[in-house]
Amino acid sequence: MDLILASASPRRRELLGLLGLEFEVVPSGVPELTEGDPAVIVVENAVRKARAVARPGALVLGVDTDVVCDDRLLGKPGDDGDATARLRALSGRTHEVLSGIALVGPAGERSELVRTAVTFRALDDREIEEYVAAGEWRDRAGGYAIQGLGSSLVERVEGDLSNVIGLPIPALSRMIEELQDR
C-alpha cells in the first residue's frame, strides 16, 4: 500500500524515513484552524490534512503539532519579535506540545492526540536574543527546535520526544498496526 505524508515538514520526512518506510510527500495546503480547544484543533487539522490528499489504495498521514501555553496555541512566530515573546512566555515554565495524528486509508480512518510536557529552564534576555538571532525558531511551533540548539533551553521532557520534534513515532506505529489488523 502506498503511504502519503500530507505535509511538507522536513522534520516529519526525516522521522518517517528513520522508520524505513517508503512514502510520497503531498502537502495538503489546507488552512489550519487556530481557534478553540487546542486538543480538538490539532486533531481536526490532522484529519483535514489527511482527507485533503486521500486517494484510493493509499494510506495518508496527516499531522498537526503545536505548543500550548496558558490554554492557547502559540503557533509559529512570524518574526524575531514574535519568537522573542514566545520564548519569554515559555521561560521557566512547563508547556504542552500537542500533536494530532490521522491516518486515512482503505481500512478506514483513525486519529489520535499525543501530549508531551516540556519544561524550559529560566532564560535570561541574552540567551533568548542569541537563540532568536540564530534563526532556528523559523517555521517551528512555539518558536524552538528541541532537536537542535533549542535543546539548551529545555530542562525536562515528560513523554514522547519525537512528538516534540513533530511526528509521534510510537503513536504512528501503533495506529498503522491497528489499521493493518482490520
Alpha helix (H) residue ranges in 22-124: 38-52, 80-90
Q: Which three cell numbers stand for residue 178?
A: 491497528
CB within 8 A of 37, min separation 6: which ones?
A: none
Among candidate residues 2, 64, 80, 181, the one labeled active-site is 64
Alpha helix (H) residue ranges in the chain: 10-18, 38-52, 80-90, 125-134, 161-165, 169-180
Q: Is 79 among the residues known to form the active site?
A: no
SS3 101: strand
- What residues act catalytically? 64
